C-alpha cells in the first residue's frame, strides 16, 4: 500500500481547524509550501499531500517545463488522488479535527481536485483557484458542470477572465449549476486574471490585486463555513 507523503505546517497556539492544500501541476512547489505557511499564519493546520509520489523521479517541476508537468498530471487517476486527499484528511482527523472543521483549497489541477472532493465528501468549506475540467472531465473525474449540483461542501471558485484554458462562459455555466447545490456556493471572476494569477513565483501570470483579493475571500469563506 502506498503511503502519501504530506507537508504539514502547524500554527502557533491552538489551531482553529485544518486546511488541505492541493498542489498545482508542478508539484508541492515553494509556492504551495508558502500557501501552507499562510494558512498556518491564519491559525489553521495546513496539510499538502504530494500527488506525484507514485511517479519515480517526479517531485517538483520547473515552471518552464510544461511538457513534464503535462506528462505528470496525465498519469494521475481520480481514485488515487482521492486516496491522497483522504490521507491528508486522516492526518487532520488524528489531530482531533472532525470533517466539519476541515477545509480544502486547490490551485490549477488542485483546484479541480478540491472541487471534486467537495462533491465527494462533506467538509467545512472548499475553494478552487482556476481549476479546469468544467465541461470535460479530467483524471477520471466527470465534468465539473455535470456534478456541480451535488456539492456537499460549501464551495467558492476563483477564475480569471484571461485564462486561456478556462473560458469565462464555462465559468458562468458552472456558476448556474453550482447555484442549485444544497450548500452555499460562490464564484469570483477577475477581469485581468490569467491562469495561475495567484502564484507570485510566476511573474508572467501573477496578478497581485487579484491574488490578494482571492486569498482574503478564501479565508473569509473558511471563517464563515468551517465549524469550530
- Predicted confidence (pLDDT) per residue in 176-225, tens digit: 999 999 999 999 999 999 999 999 999 999 999 999 999 999 999 999 99
Whole-angstrom distance, CA of residue 86 vs CA of residue 217 = 25
* Strand-by-strand arrangement of the 102-107 sheet: 6-9, 45-49, 18-22, 102-107, 125-129, 155-160, 185-190
Average pLDDT in the 147-163 region? 98
- DSSP single-letter state for residue 5: P
CB of 155 closer than 8 Å to CB of 126: yes
Give tens-digit pLDDT for 110-133.
999 999 999 999 999 999 999 999
Best CA proximity match to 74, nearest among 146, 20, 123, 25 = 25
Question: Which is the catalytic residue, given 156, 195, 198, 225?
Answer: 195
Give tens-digit pLDDT for 51-87.
999 999 899 999 999 999 999 999 999 999 999 999 9
**CA torsion, ordered 47, 73, 75, 140, to nearest 10 deg:** 80
> Any catalytic annotation for residue 199?
no
> Any catalytic annotation for residue 195?
yes
Cell of 68: 513534464
The pLDDT of residue 57 is 87
Decide if pLDDT at 1 tops 60. no
Best CA proximity match to 5, nearest among 17, 23, 25 = 23
Whole-angstrom distance, CA of residue 143 vs CA of residue 118 = 14
Question: Which is the catalytic residue, given 82, 163, 170, 207?
Answer: 163
CB of 105 closer than 8 Å to CB of 46: no
Whole-angstrom distance, CA of residue 46 vs CA of residue 139 = 24
Average pLDDT in the 3-20 region? 96
CB of 110 closer than 8 Å to CB of 35: no
Question: Which is the catalytic residue, given 108, 116, 156, 170?
Answer: 108
Cell 478556462: give the residue.
166
> Any catalytic annotation for residue 108?
yes
pTM: predicted TM-score of the whole model, two decimal places: 0.98
Amino acid at each position: 500500500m502506498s503511503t502519501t507523503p504530506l507537508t504539514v505546517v502547524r500554527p502557533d497556539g491552538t489551531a482553529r481547524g485544518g486546511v488541505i492544500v492541493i498542489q498545482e501541476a508542478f508539484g508541492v512547489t515553494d509556492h504551495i509550501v508558502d500557501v501552507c505557511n499562510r494558512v498556518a499564519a491564519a491559525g489553521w493546520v495546513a496539510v499538502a499531500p504530494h500527488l506525484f509520489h507514485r511517479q519515480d523521479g517526479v517531485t517538483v517541476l520547473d515552471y518552464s517545463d510544461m511538457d513534464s508537468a503535462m506528462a505528470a498530471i496525465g498519469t494521475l487517476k481520480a481514485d488515487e488522488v482521492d486516496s491522497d486527499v483522504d490521507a491528508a484528511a486522516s492526518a487532520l482527523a488524528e489531530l482531533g479535527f472532525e470533517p466539519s472543521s476541515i477545509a480544502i483549497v486547490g490551485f490549477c489541477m488542485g483546484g479541480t481536485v478540491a472541487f471534486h472532493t467537495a462533491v465527494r465528501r462533506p467538509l467545512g468549506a472548499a475553494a478552487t483557484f482556476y481549476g479546469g475540467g468544467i465541461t470535460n472531465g479530467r483524471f477520471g473525474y466527470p465534468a465539473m458542470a455535470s456534478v456541480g449540483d451535488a456539492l456537499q461542501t460549501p464551495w467558492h471558485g476563483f477564475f480569471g477572465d484571461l485564462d486561456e484554458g478556462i473560458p469565462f462562459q464555462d465559468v458562468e455555466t458552472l456558476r448556474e449549476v453550482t447555484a442549485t447545490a444544497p450548500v452555499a456556493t460562490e464564484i469570483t471572476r477577475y477581469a485581468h486574471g490569467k491562469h495561475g494569477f495567484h502564484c507570485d513565483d510566476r511573474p508572467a501570470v501573477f496578478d497581485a490585486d487579484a491574488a490578494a483579493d482571492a486569498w482574503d475571500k478564501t479565508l473569509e469563506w473558511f471563517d464563515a463555513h468551517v465549524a469550530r
